[in-house]
A = this chain, B = another copy of it.
Amino acid sequence: MMRKNKNVVLWAASLLLLLVGCKQQADNEKNALLVIKEQGSFAVGGSVITNPGTFDPITRTPEGQTYHGDHAYIVYQIPDKARKLPLVFWHGIGQFSKTWETTPDGREGFQNIFLRRGFGVYLINQPRRGNAGRSTVEATIKPTPDEQEWFNTFRVGVWPDYFEGVQFPKDEESLNQYFRQMTPNIGPFDTEVITDAISKLFDKIGDGILVTHSHSGGFGWLTAINNNRIKAIASYEPGSGFVSPEGEVPSPLPSSAGALQANSVSMEDFMKLTKIPIIIYYGDNIPDKYSDNKGADGWRVRLEMARLWRDAVNKYGGDVTVIHLPEIGIHGNTHFPFSDLNNIKIADLLSNWLKEKGLDK
């Protein structure tokens, strides 16, 4: 009797330990501590306005004073035992580094996810945006209610309705956070100011992998042309700025959101984009034929242009892949796949591509 009781007790104890162990393991994987070797922030790029004359500390008039502006503001974290190539994340239009941080509903974004996967992470705030707001040109900013247009352009739905099966949280607070992750441009876009700052970033940090989104897609191609420390590009829903060699620029593609132009560069510059692996992702709910839903139709021609561009770059020996997520069985993604509800799956796609291309050593 005692031996039987003892066996039962041992069995129960073992089972309990096993359950506790499994839970701990699951907890560890889900809530693993982030171990950071180094973290900080800095300004890079930009220029200086210098008034003529000599500064007078008593009168403190403008003569001889300076204004350092048009730099990018960079936040970085390097995990312990980091892989060789860091990921450099570049936001899109109306956004800042928040794009990659915790999501509107509080889940981890690509910043944390890829830190956990052993990558150094650099988050860009581009010149004249957000904390890099010290612009060298004057700006007037008017608060113009336009969030319903963004809701549609970001393909969360057609306001006030969410798309069926959309990978976006439907509670009010998430939408509140989503709208508040926008911040205005402080002055007009200046492609040279912007790409120069990010090129200088790569001069400073060395080789890395650029990850772009939407508007920064176009800036990313140009920066990679200018700086061969960019060893690969992953671009989420690039919005414009596809570049072709002079004489080979595709005709503009019409849509209800306006015609999408492509830009030309020299053949010498274009060939630089054939030297690095590039992957482009587009999400769901992109119309496959003309739609008067301007928010979505613009993406139809962008996906089409991306495919034309892929073919052009690959024709010249490049390595461009275009993934249309629904075509590989991943449904419901918005303009922000990397922060959507299924963003772990989206991260896994990127991890696999990096591994396949030998970029994750």
- Chain A interface (Cβ < 8 Å from any Cβ of B): 31, 33-37, 39-43, 46, 49-51, 55, 57-58, 60, 62, 64-69, 71, 73, 75, 80, 96-98, 101-102, 106, 108, 112, 125, 130-149, 152, 158-160, 176-177, 179-184, 186-187, 292-295
**Beta-carbon contact of B64 and A148 below 8 Å:** yes
Q: What residue in chain B is nearest A139 (Cβ atoms)?
A: B141
Neighbour of A141 across the interface among B49, B97, B135, B152, CB < 8 A: B135
Q: What are some 23 contacts across the A-B interface (CB < 8 A)?
A: A33-B80, A34-B36, A34-B39, A39-B112, A40-B101, A41-B98, A41-B101, A42-B177, A43-B180, A51-B145, A57-B158, A58-B292, A58-B294, A73-B180, A130-B183, A131-B183, A134-B184, A135-B141, A136-B143, A137-B143, A138-B142, A139-B140, A184-B186
Neighbour of A144 across the interface among B67, B145, B182, CB < 8 A: B67
Chain B residues positioned under 8 Å from A102 (CB to CB): 39-42
**Beta-carbon contact of B143 and A135 below 8 Å:** yes
Neighbour of A295 across the interface among B39, B57, B67, CB < 8 A: B57
Q: How far is the CB of A273 from chain B (nearest CB, A)?
A: 31
**Beta-carbon contact of B180 and A68 below 8 Å:** yes
Top 5 nearest A-B pairs by Cβ distance? A40-B102, A43-B180, A65-B145, A130-B131, A34-B36
**Beta-carbon contact of A179 and B66 below 8 Å:** yes
Chain B residues positioned under 8 Å from A98 (CB to CB): 41, 73, 131
Q: What residue in chain B is nearest A103 (Cβ atoms)?
A: B40
Q: What residue in chain B is nearest A136 (Cβ atoms)?
A: B143
**Beta-carbon contact of A148 and B184 below 8 Å:** no
Q: What residue in chain B is nearest A37 (Cβ atoms)?
A: B33
Q: How far is the CB of A8 from chain B (nearest CB, A)?
A: 37
Q: How far is the CB of A102 from chain B (nearest CB, A)?
A: 3
Q: How far is the CB of A318 from chain B (nearest CB, A)?
A: 36
Chain B residues positioned under 8 Å from A142 (CB to CB): 138
**Beta-carbon contact of A49 and B143 below 8 Å:** yes
**Beta-carbon contact of A43 and B181 below 8 Å:** yes
Q: How far is the CB of A115 from chain B (nearest CB, A)?
A: 9
Q: How far is the CB of A28 from chain B (nearest CB, A)?
A: 12
Chain B residues positioned under 8 Å from A293 (CB to CB): 57-58
In angstroms, Cα B132 to Cα A181, docked, is: 8
Q: What residue in chain B is nearest A160 (Cβ atoms)?
A: B55
Once A34-B36, A184-B186 are accepted as A-B contacts, the answer to whether A131 and B125 lie under 8 Å apart by CB is: yes
Q: How far is the CB of A127 from chain B (nearest CB, A)?
A: 11
In angstroms, Cα B112 to Cα A247, docked, is: 53
Neighbour of A143 across the interface among B69, B101, B160, B177, CB < 8 A: B69
In angstroms, Cα B4 to Cα A48, docked, is: 68
**Beta-carbon contact of A68 and B131 below 8 Å:** no
Q: What residue in chain B is nearest A183 (Cβ atoms)?
A: B133
**Beta-carbon contact of A148 and B41 below 8 Å:** no
Q: How far is the CB of A130 from chain B (nearest CB, A)?
A: 4
Q: What residue in chain B is nearest A133 (Cβ atoms)?
A: B183
Chain B residues positioned under 8 Å from A51 (CB to CB): 145
In angstroms, Cα B68 to Cα A101, docked, is: 19
